[in-house]
């Protein structure tokens, strides 16, 4: 039975209302139920389980202010878009406890207030980026400071993060990619730090000539910002208390006795973490003032202890063609000396050794007179090289004669054939004691009386230790105008900051952290760049396709629709 025209209109109206009702229902459901499928191979849009759990357990709002709003070049807009997408994903798990906004720092403020506001951002650790912008379509350019960073507030505490990774000679696209890959870690770690009511306790070791003055200022200042810090005198204290989550040795100068090493050994056997920065030879930047010196063995007597744990800091110095600069007088113009920065092979720029979370996506590390490290096979200890030299390096066994005059000669590349010489190593496992079967009954009793714990011949649980063959990685230079500089800054080129502080903080976090948030540093994003030459060659073809295909598809759809309509209503 054929429907009348009125019945057809009624049926059409019912279908239309039904479609509208379904769409409304879907929109209402979508406001409560969210989902997204991450089809990327590296899961770039999927948060780590540790991040999701932390966000779900927030008990108060987290306010995030991102300073990436404005007319910026494409790379900064891309970083801003990636940050917004990440924070929107944070909101999926943190709900109303994640609140963020994008602002343009200093906009609509008078010059004096804008400069004051920018100074406050720098005081919080947000590093500015000097951008060249064109003035109103003219040929001239002006400098504009932008602050690719964010401040994060939780309850009465505040933290800050830098979003842009230092390029350090890296391709800008790779630097941007690394910055995007680190976004989750930087925000998640900052929120985690704000949540901590009790900070880990770190011990700074004294008693063997370790630095206490301005040369260690930045490292200790950095520690005090994130940790509880106290000093331990290994010579006068009866033992290392296990309340310390980690202890730090920086450039000891005097010999370690068996009594000293026993204190360290039993601290490690009971689960204590140790971070070593060791200078085995008597080489330092201050020694260069005499233009020539010989670096000798300090006779620290730590070889047997570290060997037992799986590593050996060698009595040598590393030279590398990938090195930092030193200013040298290369001639005179009239009565004025001509000074030029020259690469100094004894100042190697160390490369992050692998994809471990401590060093993943990290820039080069500045070092001074570094020693190589050997790892010992066996023992059930896992060894991971964190920092190493480039593919053009070598070692010189001590004693080593060091002369500034030799730097002016062009190095012979054939002498630098060693590759990736380890300078920093992570050790993980159940460490064996150096003193097993070596102590008398009286010594056992004295140890238990002093520490309240019996002697242990083997660690009960898995432990961690980091050994670095250069203390200058965490010391800082001194400027006559500014005083102590940041670690990782060459006083003759203070504009560039190497990743020394990042390495130091990551190492401490890995040793002391009880959560796996650092694992998010391992996220790797794949650059999928267009082939520039092919794009240029086929430019016209793609322009035609991009213009013609959408229009052609619409015309084809209209023709098919019209044909079906005519067939349907032909009778």
Q: What is the pLDDT of residue 238?
A: 94
Report in angstroms the alpha-carbon separations of 497 from 180, 487, 502: 20, 8, 10
Distance CA(147)–CA(280), nearest Å, equals: 41
In angstroms, the CA 274 to CA 203 distance is 9
The number of C-alpha atoms within 13 Å of 418 and in the hemisphere containing its C-beta is 13
Identify whether the C-beta of residue 467 lies closer than 8 Å to the C-beta of residue 268. Answer: no
* Backbone torsions φ then ψ of 445, nearest 5 degrees: -65, -40
**What's the CA gap between 568 and 564, in Å, rounded?**
6
Q: Could you give the 3-state DSSP secondary structure of residue 240?
A: coil
Judge whether 420 and 320 are in contact, CB under 8 Å: no
3-state secondary structure of 273: strand
Would you state the pLDDT for residue 328?
A: 79
Instruction: Tokens for 334, please give them.
Output: 């009239």
Alpha helices per DSSP H over 334-461 = 441-451
Give the alpha-carbon dihedral of 139, 144, 150, 151, to 10 degrees: -160
Tokens found for residue 250: 């920086």
466/383 Cα distance (integer angstroms): 10
Q: What is the pLDDT of residue 524?
A: 64
CA distance 486 to 478: 9
> Cβ–Cβ contacts within 10 Å for residue 273, how many?
22
Buried-exposed string 386-418: b where 16+ CB fall within 10 A, e elsewhere: bbbbbebbbbbebebebebeebeeebeeeebeb
Cα–Cα distance, 100 to 115 (Å, whole number): 24
- Structural contact between residues 488 and 456, judged by C-beta atoms closer than 8 angstroms: no
* Pairwise CA distance, residues 187 & 162, whole Å: 10
pLDDT tens for the 571 residues of the chain, in order: 555 666 666 776 777 777 777 778 777 776 666 566 655 655 666 788 888 999 999 999 999 999 988 777 777 888 889 899 999 999 999 999 999 999 887 777 777 787 888 788 887 878 777 766 555 555 555 667 788 889 999 998 898 988 887 655 555 667 777 888 889 989 998 998 888 888 999 999 999 999 998 999 999 999 998 899 999 999 999 999 999 999 999 999 999 999 999 999 999 999 999 999 999 999 988 777 767 889 999 999 999 999 999 999 999 999 999 999 888 776 666 667 777 888 899 999 999 977 899 998 888 999 999 999 999 987 889 999 999 999 999 999 989 999 887 777 788 888 999 999 999 999 999 999 999 999 999 999 999 999 999 999 999 999 999 999 999 999 998 888 888 988 999 888 777 889 999 999 999 999 998 877 877 777 665 555 555 566 667 777 777 777 777 887 787 877 777 777 666 666 5
Cα(498)–Cα(139) distance, integer angstroms: 34
What H or E segment, with its residue span, contains residue 397?
A: strand 393-397
What element of type H or E holds 323? strand 323-333
pLDDT score for 281: 96
């Amino acid at each position: 039975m054929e429907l009348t025209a009125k019945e057809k209109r009624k049926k059409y109206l019912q279908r239309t209302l039904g479609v509208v009702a379904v769409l409304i229902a879907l929109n209402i459901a979508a406001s409560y139920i969210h989902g997204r499928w991450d089809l990327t191979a590296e899961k770039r849009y999927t948060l780590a389980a540790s991040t999701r759990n932390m966000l779900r357990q927030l008990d108060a709002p987290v306010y995030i202010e991102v300073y990436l709003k404005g007319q910026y070049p494409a790379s900064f807009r891309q970083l801003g878009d990636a940050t917004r997408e990440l924070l929107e994903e944070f909101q999926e798990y943190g709900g109303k406890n994640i609140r963020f906004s994008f602002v343009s720092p200093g906009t609509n403020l008078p010059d004096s207030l804008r400069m004051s506001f920018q100074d406050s951002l720098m005081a919080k650790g947000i590093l500015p980026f000097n951008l060249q912008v064109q003035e109103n379509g003219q040929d001239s350019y002006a400098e504009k400071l932008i602050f690719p960073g964010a401040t994060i507030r939780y309850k009465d505490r505040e933290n800050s993060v830098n979003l842009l990774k230092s390029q350090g000679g890296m391709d800008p696209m790779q630097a941007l990619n690394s910055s995007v890959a680190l976004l989750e870690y930087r925000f998640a770690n900052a929120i985690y730090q704000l949540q901590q009511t009790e900070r880990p306790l770190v011990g700074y070791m004294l008693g063997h000539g370790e630095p206490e003055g301005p040369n260690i200022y930045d490292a200790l200042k950095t520690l005090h910002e994130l940790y509880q810090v106290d000093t331990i005198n290994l010579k006068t204290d009866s033992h290392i208390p296990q309340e310390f989550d980690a202890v730090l040795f920086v450039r000891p100068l005097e010999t370690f006795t068996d009594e000293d090493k026993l204190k360290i050994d039993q601290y490690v056997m009971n689960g204590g973490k140790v971070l070593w920065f060791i200078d085995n030879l008597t080489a330092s930047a201050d020694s260069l003032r005499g233009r020539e010196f010989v670096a000798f063995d300090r006779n620290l007597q730590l070889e047997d202890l570290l060997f037992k744990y799986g590593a050996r800091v060698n009595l040598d110095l590393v030279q590398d063609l990938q090195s930092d600069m030193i200013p040298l007088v290369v001639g005179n113009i009239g009565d004025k000396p001509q000074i030029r920065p020259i690469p100094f092979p004894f100042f190697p720029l160390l490369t992050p050794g692998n994809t471990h979370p401590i060093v993943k996506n990290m820039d080069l590390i500045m070092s001074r007179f570094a020693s190589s490290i050997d790892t010992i096979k066996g023992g059930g200890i896992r060894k991971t090289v964190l920092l190493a030299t480039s593919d053009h390096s070598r070692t010189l066994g001590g004693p080593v004669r060091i002369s500034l005059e030799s730097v002016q000669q062009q190095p012979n590349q054939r002498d630098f054939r060693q590759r990736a010489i380890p300078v920093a190593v992570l050790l993980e496992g159940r460490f064996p004691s150096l003193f097993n079967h070596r102590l008398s009954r009286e010594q056992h009793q004295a140890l238990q009386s002093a520490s309240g714990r019996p002697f242990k011949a083997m660690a009960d649980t898995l432990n961690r230790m980091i050994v670095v063959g250069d203390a200058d990685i965490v010391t800082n230079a001194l400027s006559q105008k500014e005083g102590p500089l940041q670690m990782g800054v060459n006083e003759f080129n203070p504009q560039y900051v190497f990743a020394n502080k990042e390495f130091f903080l990551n190492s401490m976090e890995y040793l002391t952290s009880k959560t796996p948030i650092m694992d998010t540093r391992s996220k790797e994003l794949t650059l999928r760049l267009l082939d520039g030459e092919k794009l240029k060659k086929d430019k016209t073809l793609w322009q035609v396709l991009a213009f013609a295909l959408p229009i052609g598809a619409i015309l084809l759809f209209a023709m098919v629709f019209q044909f079906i309509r005519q067939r349907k209503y032909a009778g």
